[in-house]
Amino acid sequence: MEKNKPSKETLDQWSKDPNNWVWGLFYYKHEDKRLFPPKKIESMGSTVNFANTKSVLYFVGMLLFFIFIVLFITYK
């Protein structure tokens, strides 16, 4: 059984809806399954969907990786 994917227009509406942004900084929408949805202003890049567990885990993994690299270089 195939899940219904939202249309491009729906995804754009979700990204631009101020109700999906906590404090205007953090994107939070349960129905949006994208790991990195676009920011309110698409030319500014992507953000993390903090309502999506996979997205948060990926973000934490990247953060830990960069911290490890910085610590490794610093204490080498």
Residue boundaries of the structural domains of the chain: 8-74
CA gap 60, 76 in Å, rounded: 24
pLDDT for position 14:
85
- Answer whether residue 3 shows pLDDT above 70: no
pLDDT for position 1:
40
7-61 pLDDT tens trace: 888 887 888 888 888 998 889 988 888 888 888 877 888 889 999 999 999 999 9
CB 47 within 8 A of CB 39: yes
CA gap 14, 11 in Å, rounded: 5
pTM for the structure as a whole: 0.71
